[in-house]
Homo-oligomer: A and B are copies of this chain.
Amino acid sequence: MRKIPISSMDKILEEAGAERISESAKKELNELVEKKAIEVSRQAIKLSKHAKRNTIMKEDIELVLDK
Contacts and interface: CB of A to CB of B under 8 A. Distances in A.
In the complex, the count of this chain's copies comes to 2
Contacts of A36: 33, 36
Given A25-B58, A37-B33, A16 B42 contact: yes
A60 B56 CA distance: 34
Interface residues of A, number: 41
A33 B58 CA distance: 14
Given A29-B37, A36-B36, A19 B61 contact: no
Interface in A25-47: 25, 27-29, 32-34, 36-38, 40-42, 44-45
Contacts of A61: 25, 28-29, 32
